[in-house]
Amino acid sequence: MILANANIVLPDRVIRGALRIEGDRIAAVTEGAEIPDGAVDCAGDLLTPGLIELHTDNLERHIRPRPGVDWPHETAILAHDGELASAGITTVFDALRVGSIYGASAGYAPYALALVNEINGLNARQATRISHFIHLRAEICSETLIEEMEAFGPDHRIRLVSLMDHTPGQRQFRDLSKLEEYEKGKHGMSDAQFTAHVAKLQELRARLGDGHERAAVQIARGLGATLASHDDTTSDQVGVSAAHGVRLAEFPTTVEAARASHAAGIRVIMGAPNLIRGGSHSGNVAAQELAQDGLLDILSSDYIPSSLLMAACRLGRLWEDLPRAFATVTSTPASATGLTDRGRLVPGLRADVIRIADSDATPRLRGVWCRGRQVG
């Protein structure tokens, strides 16, 4: 298949040309507006690598669409897979929580191991449209983190582990009023329930947090996973992350933490919804501010899959540099997690490609190919 007369986003420039796919690989990229016989005329649309998503909670929304509803998992996984394909995402790291709390009004039980087995089973059967890897969100402030993480082994395809510390009064929820708004909105907590919830989490962190953090780091190393921090706020917290061997900083909450991460050689991930909305819903630093300061390396759709493409296009306009912008959702997340076979439109790599119209307005996808097969 040949996609011709397209504006092709290469790692260092944009060219008018054609991209030839043979099997599941990119066979050639050529310059010029010619349209060979049998080729698809892209009429100037953008061709970019398929998007790579490192942190999305989207699968959980399909598994539990309403409180108390546990939707059939295979159907939910495939619906999630199709939604991501329709958003131009061709590789996803499904973010699943490990670490549970029992008996609290906002408690939650283990679910990750069973879901990982189901995702990997669908992958092995080639039943999914796109590529799925596993990202374990290690909840430091929990009761069961170690036993849940110890259940995973090399065959579970865990490529990313993030250290998540949601203790009230720090990091993402330094402002307790933001946490109160979130918990009451999501769980319908009363004032008394919220007070008890905060006390429970703070007690768990004081009693188990340091041991959980050390264990999660060791288990992640044993799994061969890339390690990420989450919601670092101060340079001291970044120093701890660097000492753990963290390579990715998910959603630092301040400019101080983002700058310290860069100084430590840690790549900064920010939420695409933050960039699109113009700020953080938790009142933390705006992604655009970090982008303007040269402190943003990777975008994540977080909780809205369609935001990833929108944000990459917006970043292209902000930086006036499409290759740099699309690197935040393609080549940089690939290299950060050891995926050397995708993320760039280069002969020999996987034919993960998306075709985009109207990238200067609201981008519209006109085609999505994963391993050379059209999936959207």
- Per-residue pLDDT tens over the stretch 157-213: 999 999 998 777 576 666 666 665 666 566 667 777 767 767 777 787 878 888 999
What is the per-residue pLDDT for 187?
Answer: 62
pLDDT bin (cut points 50, 70, 90) of residue 103 is low
Q: How large is the average pLDDT for residues 84-109? A: 86
Q: Which residue has the higher pLDDT, 68 or 363?
A: 363
Between CA 358 and CA 361 the distance in angstroms is 5
What is the per-residue pLDDT for 280?
Answer: 84
What is the per-residue pLDDT for 229?
Answer: 97
What is the per-residue pLDDT for 34?
Answer: 94
Q: Packing angle between helix 235-244 and helix 255-263, nearest 10 degrees?
A: 40
Q: DSSP string covering 254-314, please?
A: SHHHHHHHHHTTPEEEEEHHHHHHTS-TTS---HHHHHHTT---EEE-BT-TTHHHHHHHH
First-to-last alpha carbon distance for the chain, in angstroms, is 16
Which domain, by its residues, includes 62? 50-342
What's the one-letter identity of residue 151? A
Residue 35 maps to a domain = no
CB count in 10 Å sphere of residue 85: 24
pLDDT bin (cut points 50, 70, 90) of residue 221 is very high
What is the per-residue pLDDT for 279?
Answer: 86
What is the per-residue pLDDT for 40?
Answer: 97
Residue 291 maps to a domain = yes
What is the per-residue pLDDT for 344?
Answer: 98
Q: How large is the average pLDDT for residues 127-153? A: 95
Q: Which residue has the higher pLDDT, 190 or 107?
A: 190
Residue 205 maps to a domain = yes
Q: Please say whether the beta carbons of 96 and 108 come within 8 A.
A: no
* pLDDT tens digits along 324-354: 999 999 999 999 999 999 999 999 999 999 9
Q: Is 334 helix (H, G, I), strand (E, B) or coil?
A: helix
Residue 108 maps to a domain = yes
Range scoring the smallest mean pLDDT among 54-58, 148-152, 178-182: 178-182
What is the per-residue pLDDT for 283?
Answer: 76
DSSP 50: P
What is the per-residue pLDDT for 179?
Answer: 62
Between CA 7 and CA 362 the distance in angstroms is 17
Locate 94 and state its tokens: 């499904």
Residue 114 maps to a domain = yes
Q: Which residue has the higher pLDDT, 77 or 102?
A: 77
What is the per-residue pLDDT for 190?
Answer: 78
What is the per-residue pLDDT for 205?
Answer: 80
95-125 in b/e burial notation, b at 16+ Cβ within 10 A?
Answer: bbbbbbbeeeebeeebbbeebbeebbebbee
Locate 97 and state its tokens: 């929580």
What is the per-residue pLDDT for 173?
Answer: 67
Please determine, for residue 311, whether its predicted confidence score (pLDDT) is greater than 60: yes
pLDDT bin (cut points 50, 70, 90) of residue 88 is very high
Query: Average model confidence (pLDDT) for the chain?
Result: 92
Please determine, for residue 114, whether its predicted confidence score (pLDDT) is greater than 80: yes
Helix and strand numbers, DSSP H then E, in the chain: 13, 16
Q: Backbone phi, then psi, for 360, in 5-degree steps?
A: -85, -5
Q: Backbone phi, then psi, for 119, in 5-degree steps?
A: -60, -45
What is the per-residue pLDDT for 87?
Answer: 98
Please determine, for residue 372, whether its predicted confidence score (pLDDT) is greater than 60: yes
pLDDT bin (cut points 50, 70, 90) of residue 109 is confident
What is the per-residue pLDDT for 68?
Answer: 81
Between CA 356 and CA 364 the distance in angstroms is 6
Residue 207 maps to a domain = yes
Please determine, for residue 105, whether its predicted confidence score (pLDDT) is greater than 60: no
- Describe the chain by its helix, strand, coil percentages, rounded to 5: 40, 25, 35
Q: How large is the average pLDDT for residues 248-264? A: 97
What is the per-residue pLDDT for 172?
Answer: 65
Question: How would you class 36 by CB atoms within 10 Å of its CB: exposed for 0-12, middle for 13-18, buried for 19 or more?
Answer: exposed
What is the per-residue pLDDT for 41?
Answer: 98
What is the per-residue pLDDT for 72?
Answer: 95
pLDDT bin (cut points 50, 70, 90) of residue 107 is low
Residue 358 maps to a domain = no
49 Cα distance to chain centroid: 16
What's the one-letter identity of residue 145? L
Nearest to 292 by CA among 272, 280, 275, 313: 275
Q: Please say whether the beta carbons of 25 and 5 come within 8 A.
A: no
What is the per-residue pLDDT for 185?
Answer: 60
Residue 132 maps to a domain = yes
Q: What is the CATH number of the domain that holds 332?
A: 3.20.20.140
**Number of domains making up the chain:** 1
